[in-house]
Chains A and B, each alone.
Chain A
Amino acid sequence: MPEVLKAPLVVEFPFTRSLGPVQSAFLTGLRERVVLGVKTGDGRTLVPPVEYDPVTSEEIRDLVEVAPTGTVTTWAWNHAPRRGQPLDTPFAWVLVRLDGADTSLLHALDATGPDAVHTGMRVRIRWAEERSGAITDIACFEPYDSVETPEPAGHDGRFEDMVTGIVAPARLDYTYSPGRAQSGYINALSDRRIVGERCPSCRKVYVPPRGACPTCGVATVEEVEVGPGGTVTTYCIVNIKAKNLDIEVPYVYGHIALDGADLALHGRIGGIPYDQVRMGLRVEPVWTDGGRYPDHYRPTGEPDADYETYKELV
């Protein structure tokens, strides 16, 4: 079995999301240090507020201000904070029912240790210094020892410059491993060889190999070296320059059936003016120093292949 390959893979994306009217008021309120809930038809106040009643699905828009103080309804001690979480020192996850609300909000509680946290304890919001209209405008909760409950000012949820969207960055880190068949393919490339795998049932050779024959649904195991020569089965002319790609347009991208393969792979075709590339053109890979796959394919100078020889691969 060839060496199993691994490589780090980071998937990162900023999600831009628009807000409904209730979410917009709530998140704008956090920016202004005002906490808003929404009234349901049966008179309950939901914090955080939602656009639709979770029981009746009725549209709800009646905003009401609640206090920045509240009571812990359940908690969990997190001794090892993870990336992106509200605090980077050990903290308690809490559900907090704010004074004036009937439901609970998830956030972090800054406390000295698990012995300092219990269900029923009184807490208050610690506001972030810089606020933009996001749930993270609440930095966290902190213990609140006073018996006084600050009286909400009765805000109606209308603010100057309402927040209408959020940008939520997301990042996940992976260690990618391509599996048995593709590891074999990549390992061969480093020796400037191109290998496929043959289906034991229909005998077709798949390049690049993915480990299974999509027609027969069985494992492909027999490694077969293909090429280096091949035939252009179809192609297109690229006229738009890709970002970060140092290739002059127009250039040709084609499907190339390597000799011995039953599936065409794709690659750039160079070493020939773009308007002279044609179906049936015989090509071979061009390897560059340090390149881990063929940089492009160029004409071999052989006569063009007869259509009959590659028509099944178009």
Chain B
Amino acid sequence: MREIAVVAFGQTDHRRTSDEFSEVEMLMPVLHDVLDRTGMKTSDIGFTCSGSTDYLAGRAFSFTMALDGVGAWPPISESHVEMDGAWALYEAWTKLLTGDADTALVYSYGKSSPGSVRDVLTRQLDPYYVAPLWPDSVALAALQAQALIDAGEADEPALAGVAARSREDARANSHAQLRGSVPQGEYLVRPLRTGDCPPIGDGAAAVILAAGERARELCERPAWIRGIDHRIEAHGLGVRDLTDSPSTRLAAEKAGAFERPVDTAELHAPFTSQEVVLRKALRLDGDVAVNPSGGALAANPIMAAGLIRIGEAAARIHRGESDRALAHATSGPCLQQNLVSVLEGDAR
């Protein structure tokens, strides 16, 4: 199988609003950033794949406008997923495996500020039995958190600890939206307090993938994708055990995450309670640095936050701060769908 690596990662500063920019205006500096890091031009890229959703900002076909930012004319080899950019990366990885391309540009962006994201996300739910009740994203996460508390696997102080650690770690991440000391606040939907929930904001991220020797030319220490897999669970919330994440566990197994310990894990857990579920599913112990970037609790640009986990894990390998890292992305309510990738750097 072809060896494929993340060779560059870039992201915007994530902010509550970005009124002054259209999506392509927000995205373009990040695209240029990753191209500059590799010394490539847009015309050097073999395949381009993006992830976004029109529902967030209420703009039909916004991804076609965003394509202006990659210089899509004359026509390029391109694809888009209405999912987090982590899944766009999965498609690009597959494309590179086929040998059709040697390099891929993957990007994703989300502007949550124009709409009410708690309501927007209800539109992804079962349209017959669930969506007509408009259960918002925080409410569904709160049901999961209460199930964990009832099972004795978490309590409010433990959840507050996850929140505090994440934002403390985010002090070192200049792109993060919430950094340092953030009050746990009042209940938003009990048992979740504002501090247990991710900030709402706008942002974008981009990654460049390259295969084999091309990766070594473009990056001093490529972050090799040793395995990547994604799995989904039933859409019916009442069918699932909300205190566990069998899809994460299976994806991790298929990605080879359990073959050897990782030193770093970037988990896409927008709610504190979801980190508890993921740590259990991924069997992460105290030796693993979990979300040194601050994770989604520090910045959660929807549709990009999962890709950012892969990018952050890869960037640590690029910098020599990690040798083997796990990156996770999620989609759907209460960790319904999960992607796990394992990245490694060459021996130093």
Contact = CB atoms under 8 A, between A and B. Distances in A.
A95 B55 contact: no
Given A173-B116, A217-B42, A181 B239 contact: no
A219 B25 contact: yes
Contact of A168 (B55, B131, B136, B144): B131
Interface string A205-241: 0000011111111110000000000000000000000
Q: How large is the interface on B (under 10, 10 to 19, 20 to 34, 35 or more residues)?
A: 35 or more
A179 B123 CA distance: 26
Contacts of A187: none
B61 interface: no
Contact of B22 (A48, A105, A182): A182
Interface in A3-44: 4, 6, 9, 11, 15, 17, 19, 23, 27
A1 interface: yes
A16 B69 CA distance: 36
A75 B143 contact: yes
Nearest to B192: A76
A104 B237 contact: yes
Contacts of A175: 113-115
B58 interface: yes
A179 B143 contact: no
A104 B238 contact: yes
Interface string A85-118: 1100000010101000001111110000010000
A-B interface, 8 closest residue pairs, ranked by CB to CB distance from nearest: A179-B22, A217-B71, A104-B238, A76-B142, A84-B134, A54-B234, A77-B190, A174-B58
18 contacts: A4-B19, A11-B58, A15-B127, A73-B238, A74-B146, A79-B189, A82-B119, A103-B236, A106-B237, A166-B132, A172-B55, A172-B58, A172-B115, A172-B123, A177-B114, A183-B20, A217-B42, A217-B71
Interface of A: 1, 4, 6, 9, 11, 15, 17, 19, 23, 27, 46-48, 50, 54-55, 73-79, 82-86, 93, 95, 97, 103-108, 114, 119, 134-136, 166, 168, 170, 172-183, 210-219
